[in-house]
Structure 1
Amino acid sequence: MAVAVAVAVKGAPVTRVTEPDPLRRLTLDQLRRRTSMKWRTYAPDVLPLWVAEMDVPLAEPVAEAITEAVRLGDTGYPAGTVYAQALADFTRRRWGWEVPPEHTALVPDVMLGVVEVLKLITGPGDAVVVNSPVYTPFYQFVTHLGRRVVEAPLDEAGRLDPAVLETAFARAVEGGRRAAYLLCSPHNPTGTVHTAGELTDVAARARAHGVRVVADEIHAPVVLPGAHHVPYLSVPGGERAFSLMSASKAWNLAGLKAALALAGSEAADDLARMPEEVGHGPSHLGVLAHAAALRHATGWLDGLLEGLDHNRRLLAGLLERHLPGVGYRPAEGTFLAWLDCRALGLGDDPAAVFLKRGRVALNSGPAFGTGGAGHVRLNLATSPKILDEAVRRMASAV
């Protein structure tokens, strides 16, 4: 049953209708019928809590949009600004900030959008600063593009370190070269949600060094109680920056490719230089699905956020009971958990041990760069029953 909840966005009360937690809807047997990467990479006896796919049914408005398009044979090429307009409505309602649709460009997905933006503002051999430990594809896509990765590790609390950033920015622009800063917001894998103050400081330092900021905000809708997402382009100094947004993570739409590149007011001319053919990459069905999610499935999202809040607290209790040696700081955002397993004595890659001995698939920490050794990333977006079983299996492996 849907529940109406009053919340505040920049002081104005907004009523949200929360639907039941979708994480409790599917059984393990139903999930094992899926043929996506999460469920086909490992043997059937493995519990997969790794790649960022969620164990949820599709939100009904999204399913209806796709079904209607298929019924009409509306499976051609994407056109128009329906996605950008839906995102503008969502960000206005959710965060009190509106995206100008004329400052957006349709891209195939967030990481390919990042690549296209980096092509606009950097050249071969230029540096891209990242905050390690960070989403593995940041390293892969940046190096494949012919750019250099410069790490600016997070501090011990998993937050941005101004002094470290200052040093990294100075290093990145040595010799008068162009440079970019690929910001993960909210941060993957730690789940840190950056504050307005932190982001404003980033913007000032980036401008002082001539570093262009590109914010990956794919997890922006997945921010849990106690934290608030601040769009990077909304902070003072964000005018020269770019953002990449998508409904794919929050509504489990990775297989329906579509994302948007957003430009700050002083970066709009740069975004306008993006080749027209880039917009041919997204799926038309993806555009329709993402727009439907943003416009009509926010109640489903709020139910998901309640379920994730429950799961992050459940995980804390399970670890305290079964694996007290594991360090865990419940995430403020995303549906991921970053676990410090160094005290268990399992080496640099505990995920390999948990897989071999416990038959639980997690992401290996070293792949996330400096600060990842001895850690694993666990996907919380599953049922409490599966999460409980996974932790028990992990404990049996120690």
Structure 2
Amino acid sequence: MTKIAAEPLAVLRARTSYKWQTYPADVLPLFVAEMDYPLAGPVQQAIIDRVLASDTGYIAGPRPVAEAFAGFAGRTWSWAVDPEDVRTTTDVSVAIVECLRQAVPMDSTVVITPPVYPPFFELPLEADAAVVEVPLLSDGGNWALDLAGIEQAFALGADAMLLCNPHNPLGLVHSVETLRALADLSAKYGVTVISDEIHAPLTYEPGAFTPYLTVSQNARGYGICVSAASKGWNIAGTKCAVMVAQSDRTRLMLSSMPEEVSARTSILGLHAAAAAYTDGGPWLASVLESLAANRRLLGELLAEHLPGVRYRLPAASYLAWLDFRALGWGDDPAATALEQARVALESGLRFGPQGAGYVRLNFACSPEVLTEAVERLAAVAGRAGQRATLG
């Protein structure tokens, strides 16, 4: 499989997206989850076809993307999805909020597992719920859900849990055994689990990712999957996400949502996502080749230039969770990286208190940009080391 090449910086800086408009041109932006690759041809063409047809009105329903997602899920994960069980909305964050509004009463509690995707701290608040944090367990290298802590939170009255599967920012792919144990707990305590699976198409090893709803009847009974083509095919701005329910209980939640939840889906996003799921497989495979090379390159660069930074290869996604604590850059090394190296990284503090001393780095870029970014960071570390020696 041929690797796909990232766009040149001159081309990228002409983009109007958040990644390329937030910082001055001397900053290398490796923070927000946008990729630097050109769009998949079928996705481009799907959007162009709708525009040429002046077909930019309201969606007539989820059918095109529902059928496409069901086909992709079956081919990729052997997950049997009935298109009738699929609903759409604008994006995964909105999907989570709307699912919570159906699943939990006001003044309820929702479990999250930091360090985790920053909006997870805020989305339950939109649904008039409070957040209960059950941090991941870590032995210094590996991470896992704290099932005992989650059970305690469920027993104390939590009404729902947001599962990040794969887990952002770690690129952690939860095991079948872990997911099944979580599903058993959710059924035991009557807790709805909303599984955010947006990074699932970006799993490196075939068969490594397991959709939550496939692990058991308990998972299907109390779980809802929310996902989108936005991360895998870099089309977040087209605004289309899917919600999947596979039990009478959860189907009722989706069907009880206001009609506007679905109506706000972009018709361009609907067709872009359908094209991605149906015809975007070869492009995705090429991107994964490039990302796999970059995740290895990042490890080599860090070992050579910043050996004090700890890095564990992510099993999914193009996001690296880097431990800068040995460098002495404080709780927010991203601030030093931006100010002194002119490299924009995501602050680990945004992912919870467990992120102190960490950064998240987006390696969905060219090898040249990735190399320059690490070399810039190393230069700052080298200057700091010289000052410490002289002092």
Q: TM-score, normalised by structure 1?
A: 0.92
The percentage of aligned residue pairs carrying the same residue is 47
Aligned match of 1:251: 233
Match of 2:143 in 1: 158
Question: Which residue of structure 2 aligns with residue 219 of structure 1?
Answer: 199
- For the 8 Å contact 2:6–2:365, the answer to whether it is kept is no
Distance 1:342 1:284 in 2: 46
Which of the residues 354, 371, 384 maps onto 2:337?
354
**Match among 265, 270, 273 for residue 282 of structure 1:** 265
1:98 paired with 2:42, answer no
Contact 1:226 1:332 in 2 (8 A): no
1:205-262 deviations in Å (ceiling 9; x for gaps): 1111221100011111010127611111111111221010110000000110001111
Equivalent position to 1:325, from 299, 304, 308: 308
More moved, 54-63 vs 223-232: 223-232
* Conserved 8 A contact 2:165-2:197: yes
1:303 aligns with 2:283: no
Counterpart of 2:247 in structure 1 is 265
In the TM superposition, what is the alpha-carbon distance from 1:122 to its structure 2 partner?
0.6
Q: Which amino acid aligns with 2:306?
A: L
The SS at the match of 1:181 is: strand
Write the mapping of 1:104-143 to structure 2, written as runs, cut at 5 A. Answer: 104-143=86-125
Q: Determine the C-alpha separation between the residues in 2 that align with 1:71 and 1:317.
A: 46
For residue 143 of structure 1, report the CA deviation from its aligned partner.
2.2
Pairing partner for 2:360 from 370, 377, 381: 377
Aligned to 2:385: none
Question: Partner of 1:201: helix, strand, or coil?
Answer: helix
1:124 positional shift: 2.0
- 1:38-77 aligned at under 5 Å gives the runs 38-77=19-58
Deviations 1:251-308 (A, max 9, x none): 0001100011111223112221111111111110010000001100100001111111
The whole-number CA distance in structure 1 between the counterparts of 2:161 and 2:202 is: 22
Deviation by residue 1:123-159 (Cα, 9 ceiling, x = unmatched): 2211110110000011122223321111111111222
Given that residues 98 and 127 in structure 2 are in contact (C-alpha distance below 8 angstroms), is that contact kept between their aligned partners in structure 1?
A: no
Query: Are residues 1:88 and 2:70 paired?
Result: yes
1:59-78 alpha-carbon deviations (Å, 9 max, x no partner): 00111111111111111111
Amino acid at match of 1:368: F
Instruction: List gaps (5 residues or longer) in structure 1.
Output: 4-19
TM-score, normalised with respect to structure 2: 0.93
Amino acid at match of 2:79: W
Q: Deviations over 1:287-334 (max 9, x none)?
A: 000000110010000111111111111101100111111111110011
Superposed CA RMSD = 1.2
Measure how far apart 1:348 and its partner are.
0.6
Which residue matches 1:30? 11
Of 141, 144, 161, which residue of structure 1 is paired with 2:126? 144
1:336 maps to 2:288 = no
Could you tell me whether the CA contact under 8 Å between 1:153 and 1:370 is conserved in 2?
Answer: no
Runs of 4+ in 1 over 6 A off after TM superposition: none
Mapping for residues 178-189 of structure 1, pairs under 5 Å? 179-189=159-169
The AA in structure 2 aligned to 1:306 is E
Please say if residues 97 and 126 of structure 2, whose CA atoms lie closer than 8 Å, have aligned partners that are also in contact: no
Q: What is the CA distance between 1:53 and its match in structure 2? A: 0.4
Alpha-carbon distance in 1 for matches of 2:353, 2:174: 20
Q: Which runs of 5+ in 2 are unaligned?
A: 382-391
Whole-angstrom CA distance in 2 between matches of 1:47 and 1:227: 34
1:26-84 superposed Cα distances (whole Å, 9 cap, x missing partner)? 11111111110000101110000000000010100111111111111111111230000
Following the alignment from structure 1 to structure 2, what is the Cα–Cα distance between the partners of residues 270 and 124?
16
- Determine the C-alpha separation between the residues in 1 that align with 2:155 and 2:377: 42
- Paired residues of 1:357 and 1:396 also in contact (CA < 8 A): no
Match of 1:17 in 2: none
Partner secondary structure for residue 143 of structure 2: coil
Alpha-carbon distance between aligned partners in 2 of 1:79 and 1:389, rounded to the nearest angstrom: 47
Give CA deviations for 1:185-205 in whole Å, capped at 9, x if unaligned: 000000000111110011011
Residue 210 of structure 2 corresponds to residue 230 of structure 1: yes
| 2:388 corresponding residue in structure 1 | none
Measured in 2, the distance between the counterparts of 1:168 and 1:367 equals 23
State the alpha-carbon separation in 2 of the partners of residues 164 and 32 from structure 1.
Answer: 45
Distance 1:369 1:207, change over 3 A: same
Tell me the secondary structure at the aligned position of residue 320 of structure 1: helix
